[in-house]
Amino acid sequence: MTCTLGYATASSVEQNLDDQLAALGAEGVDPRRVFTDRLSESADRARAGLHAMLSYARSGDTVIVVALDRLGRSTTEVTRTIADLTDRGLRLRALREGLDTGTSTGHVVASVLRSLAQLDLQHDRGSH
């Protein structure tokens, strides 16, 4: 049986998770299946909530985020996270962007982002 998971993160003290949690709730995400992180400029970038969600998730599950930028602090981190979700067989829905990797268009977008993440990783390996 598949389930719907939510992920929310606040990247600074000024940001609040409440709006994201409300948006995820409006999409029908069970509050017990919402994983969160609170990050600051000096915080460890481990993203324990994201890793906990990835450990909990099973192939076929859906992950909902309010916006793609919640998946990372940089374009590289976001594309790598999307690639990881796709590789795990997870469906991603980003509400602000209207992205849904469960649709044919969303699948194509995810494939392009996965390819960019792979190119970036190859570039990183080649520069060391």
Residue 80 and residue 116: Cα distance in Å, rounded? 8
Continuous H helices in the chain: 18-26, 48-56, 75-87, 104-126
Which residue is listed with tokens 């409300």? 22
Residues 6+ apart with CB under 8 A from 113: 79, 82, 83
Which residue is listed with tokens 């060391």? 128
Separation in Å, CA 118 to CA 10, 76, 87, 89, 113: 27, 10, 12, 17, 9
Q: Which of 11, 42, 55, 74 is catalytic?
A: 11
11 is catalytic: yes
Catalytic residues: 11
